[in-house]
Amino acid sequence: MNDKLNLVAVLPEMFVATMACVILVVDLFAGKERRLMYGLSLATLAGAALLTMSDYATTRSVAFGGMFVEDALSDLIKIAIYVIAFGVFVYGRSYARQRDLFRGEYFVLGLFGVVGMMVMASANHFLTVYLGLELLSLCLYAMVAFQRDSALATEASMKYFVLGALASGVLLYGMSILYGLTGSLEIDAVRASVAAMPPDSVPLIFGLVFVVVGIAFKLGAVPFHMWIPDVYHGAPTSTVAYLGTAPKLAGFALVMRLLVGGLEDLHGAWRDMIIVMAVLSMVGGNVVAIAQTNIKRMLAYSTIAHMGFFLLGILSGQAAGYTAALFYVLVYAVMSLGAFGMILLLSRAGFEADALEDFRGLNQRHPWYAFLMLLFMFSMAGVPPTVGFSAKLAVIQALIAVDLVWLAVVAVLSAVVGAFYYLRVVRLMYFDRQESGTPIRAALDMRLLLGVNGLAVILIMPWVGGLFAICASAVGLLAGG
């Protein structure tokens, strides 16, 4: 089976990549017809979702001689990525158009980034992991720098590129050490060789450290988080909405494929590293976020804190913990998409609504949007009855199941600190008086999607059990395979 190409498993990737090329060509001939390219991009994502869903994996199948795997985990993550990317394109449309970012390249880069994430989700080989990661990263560097006349964006892109390249190098170095020790780059084979070695073998741990550091860089966990605030702050908001949401899902896949799929036998070693990073991320992210006045920067630190929380699920080293982490990252992507959608909504030509102050008096200007933002903020803070609570609950549950009660207490204490700055947004919207009376204009598709997005974080609650079961089955297959 390993020597077969098995192209069916790769169909969605091929479809999205082909469509991205088609859009590139269409851009060449019909560059002015931006609506056409917008429509094509959305159709691509919808088509890919159909392809993936029609062939939703119940068993594990590999392609390209074992370099590529299709299982329930990859399919679930891919579907989530399509949905999130769809939302990003819809939310970012008028923002990008007003800033002359609404060009063919924008969609092409976005779609190639999606392909990169899909490859990461399905990687079964160190080189495939790296291929997907770099495809995504290159698209992101370009998207951050897309606003050419903005010094902030250019600076952010430069920082992102330098640190991202460093991180990729570190990851690659770790992989090469593991290759030297195990003689294989294929994740299943690496796993088998690692299982045969003593888990405290120093060269093995040495390689592991570099892999973990590389992953932490990509996720933005403290102390490898330095690029996040600058990139979030400097990049155009439509790009931040992209890079702050879907890549987190791909990051989850990265962790699952490398640490869990390949190196689970070293759990004892990577667990301790992740504990340190998770605690630092939660505490550091939440504390520093309090001091921010720019909401994009605030959300950047909030991302860091959320990634810390997400790592808590991973470090438990059990299927329940991985499920919790998957659920957490899905929920986080949806909430964060909504929050960035709100910033995009309030921005208009020549005006970036990226200061916290821009949310002042929103309840007077438009109670419905204020209510949606309220839901996103409470959900990020983890207050029931929003879905953010059930995500935190699942993670804490996983920690207590492995007797890490102290870590659970640290996590909830940092959540209290975090609640403060989310509350501050609510306070500005609801308790303070109006400053700007500019009417908020948005296209129908954006209004609808934002409404669905906002209500989803609360109305999903009765069915949260079903969602959790889907996550559990996705993770369960990986653990079984």
Partner 1 sequence: MAWFDNHLLSIVIWLPMLGGVLVLASGGDANAAVARKLALGFSIATFIFSIPLYQRFDSATAAMQFVEQAPWVPAFNIEYFLGIDGISMPLILLTTLLTVVVVIAGWESIQYKVAQYMAAFLFMEGLMIGVFSALDAILFYVFWEGMLIPMFLIIGIWGAENRIYATIKFFLYTLLGSLLMLVAFLYLFQVGGGTFRITDFHDLPIGFTAQTLLFFAFFAAFAVKVPMFPVHTWLPDAHVEAPTGGSVILAAIMLKMGAYGFLRFSLPVLPDASHYLSGFVIALSLIAIVYIALVALAQKDMKKLIAYSSISHMGFVTLGFFIFNAQGIEGAIAQMISHGFVSGALFLCVGVLYDRLHSREIASYGGVATPMPIFGSFMMLFAMANVGLPGTSGFVGEFLVILGAFQVNAWYAVLAATTLVFGAAYTLWMYKRVIYGAVASDAVAALKDLSRREAVFLAMMAAGVLGMGVWPYPVLDVMHASVENLVSQAMNSKL
Binding site for partner 1 (CB under 8 A): 323, 363, 367, 374, 378, 383-385, 389-390, 393-394, 396-397, 400-401, 405, 408-409, 412-413, 415-416, 419-420, 423, 426-427, 430-431, 461-462, 464-465, 468-469, 472
Select 120 or 394, whichever has its Cβ closest to partner 1.
394
The CA distance from 15 to 78, in Å, is 13
In the complex, minimum distance from the CB of residue 404 to partner 1, in angstroms, rounded to a whole number: 11
In the complex, minimum distance from the CB of residue 437 to partner 1, in angstroms, rounded to a whole number: 15
Q: Which of 117, 76, 95, 80 is nearest to 456 (CA)?
A: 80
Select 269 or 474, whichever has its Cβ closest to partner 1.
474
Q: What is the Cβ-side half-sphere exposure of residue 370, based on CA atoms within 13 angstroms?
A: 20
In the complex, minimum distance from the CB of residue 378 to partner 1, in angstroms, rounded to a whole number: 6
Number of CB atoms found within 10 A of residue 278's CB = 27
Cα separation values, 45 from 55, 101, 123, 380, 419, Å: 15, 20, 20, 27, 35
Tokens 């990263």 — which residue?
137
Select 181 or 320, whichever has its Cβ closest to partner 1.
320
In the complex, minimum distance from the CB of residue 434 to partner 1, in angstroms, rounded to a whole number: 12
Select 21 or 290, whichever has its Cβ closest to partner 1.
290
Select 179 or 368, whichever has its Cβ closest to partner 1.
368
Select 419 or 456, whichever has its Cβ closest to partner 1.
419
In the complex, minimum distance from the CB of residue 367 to partner 1, in angstroms, rounded to a whole number: 7
The CA distance from 107 to 109, in Å, is 5
In the complex, minimum distance from the CB of residue 382 to partner 1, in angstroms, rounded to a whole number: 9
Select 52 or 323, whichever has its Cβ closest to partner 1.
323
Query: At 351, phi and psi to the nearest 5?
Result: -145, 120
The CA distance from 160 to 249, in Å, is 19
Contact 458, 375 (CB under 8 A): yes
Select 218 or 366, whichever has its Cβ closest to partner 1.
366
In the complex, minimum distance from the CB of residue 91 to partner 1, in angstroms, rounded to a whole number: 24
The CA distance from 321 to 408, in Å, is 13
Six-digit token string for 371 = 């209510």
Contact 119, 78 (CB under 8 A): no
**Using CA of residue 244, residue 90, residue 130, residue 178, what is the dihedral sign?**
positive
In the complex, minimum distance from the CB of residue 223 to partner 1, in angstroms, rounded to a whole number: 26
Q: Give one DSSP letter per residue of 70-98, joined into a string.
A: E-HHHHHHHHHHHHHHHHHHHHHHHHHHH
